[in-house]
Amino acid sequence: MQRVIALLVAAWVLGAQEPPKPRRDVAQPPGPAFYPIEGLGVEGNKLYTAAQIIGATGLRVGAPGGKILFEAARDRLLASGYFTSVGYRFESAPGQTTYLASFQVEEVPEVYAWRIEDLPVTRDEFERYARQYNPMFGPKIPASEQALAFHRRLLQELVNKRGAPTQVVSKIEPEGKDQLTIVFRPNTPRPTIAEVRFTGNKKVETRFLMQAISPIAVGAPWYEPRFREYLANQITPIYEARGLMRVSYPKIATEQSTSVRGLVVTVDVAEGEQFNLSRLEVTGTQLDGDDLQRELQVKLDEQINISAIAAGMERVMKRLKNTGYLKAAFTAQRRINDSTKTVEVFVRVNQGPQFAFRKLTILGLDLESEPAIRKLWALKEGEPYRANYPDYFLERVREDGIFDNLGKTAAEAKIDEAANAVDVVLTFKGEGPSGRRRRTPN
């Protein structure tokens, strides 16, 4: 009878549902079946607050507590898909008639942003609805199958209430650079892009825009935010290379193609006015002004070309790497003045540590040839490492015809970041029956 009563109380507190099989158990102290809960705690949480996790258990201070109720609360947390493991413990001091309980959790680390696509439910509507059933629901959710299935079910309920005969599916898709997003959408194929057209462009010919966008967009599934990323990455740089810093795309229209299966996407381009470069400031590098100017090759008070500035900075990075600064990188910011139609560009260089050459290893040569090649190697131990030197060296060996039947050669740089040192391995392979040296290098 006591077991039956316990089950009824558990169903009343937590809601009737079949819990999953527990993954971990904790030995519990003997005691009465139920006491009121005096306190609840959470250990091990990083992504979610203790209040969110306790809310998801269905328990609350003042409500009945007991082993069967705490087990059901643990199983409810596991069933959410937000945790890889959940344990619990509770205690009641002798003579007391209340429980202190805590849950030990390990959270699913893979959490991603989510969005809704082509469903009759807004993001805000889904957030409000989901939090009624799961207080942990937020801007990022776990990618576990349990969590995805739970959220698909909730979203399906909202879609059904709208009377839409749509099955909700979820997919993890790339979104932007090095970012994944959980997408909830109908279980139907997305329409694909068959053609891209441009209107409003006068300062850049349509053929140049088509050449830039078509290889990446045509054949891709249609999704406007992603298509706008294509425009930002492929079309905007074309305009910024011409000093048109305020180009925008105020309207994007789609229609079914009449000749092939897919959508015709028409982009309205607002090109804006031309801007000049009024200031270019590069900091954080040991190169002086003359060296920088030789690499950057830009002029002030003339039409700004963002692509040319970026190409110049890549030349600066290459020069730094050829003086041992192998980790050199830069970040750039720009300040646009619409009233004067000018742009200031501020570049911050992080040179990083300077690496030195330490050791040369030569593979694939006989005892006669190896010393001769080693003698030609000009980089000395302790000198700043030149990133382009090993490949340059092998190319000179090949061009000078030092070996007959010289096949594949390779240079491998082994970087010791702890010591700021570089070891180089040169590999030589013969191509025919003879890999002998043709002449003795001087």
Condensed to tens digits (0 to 9), the pLDDT of residues 232-259 reads: 999 999 999 999 999 999 999 999 999 9
Provide long-range contacts, Cβ within 8 A and 24+ apart, for 379-383. 379/424, 381/356, 381/357, 382/356, 382/357, 382/358, 383/356, 383/357
Least trusted range by pLDDT, from 165-174, 260-269, 341-350: 165-174
Query: Which tokens sit at 147?
Result: 């969590």
* Beta-carbon count within 10 A of 338 CB: 11
Q: How far apart are CA 62 and CA 78, in angstroms?
A: 24
Residue 33: pLDDT above 50?
Answer: yes
Residue 173 has a pLDDT of 87
Tell me the pLDDT band of 63, cut-offs 50, 70 and 90: very high
What pLDDT was estimated at residue 18? Answer: 39
What is the structure's pLDDT at 374?
Answer: 92
Please give the order of strands across the beta sheet that includes 421-430.
Answer: 356-363, 421-430, 406-416
Report the SS3 class of residue 426: strand
pLDDT at 214 (0 to 100): 96
209 φ/ψ angles, rounded to the nearest 5 degrees: -65, -40
194-225 per-position pLDDT tens digit: 999 999 999 999 999 999 999 999 999 998 98
* Amino acid (one-letter) located at 262: G
* Structure confidence at residue 4 (pLDDT): 42
Mean per-residue pLDDT, 327-331 = 95
> What is the pLDDT at residue 161?
92
Higher pLDDT, 99 or 441: 99
pLDDT at 403 over 60: yes
Please answer whether residues 396 and 420 qualify as being in contact, where contact means their C-beta atoms are separated by less than 8 angstroms: no
Q: For residue 418, what pLDDT is reported?
A: 96
Closest by Cα among 254, 108, 117, 240 to 175:
117
User: Per-residue confidence at 9, pLDDT binned at 50, 70, 90?
Assistant: very low
Residue 28's pLDDT is 44
- Pairing mode, if any, of strands 421-430 and 356-363? parallel
Which whole number is the average pLDDT over 99-116?
95
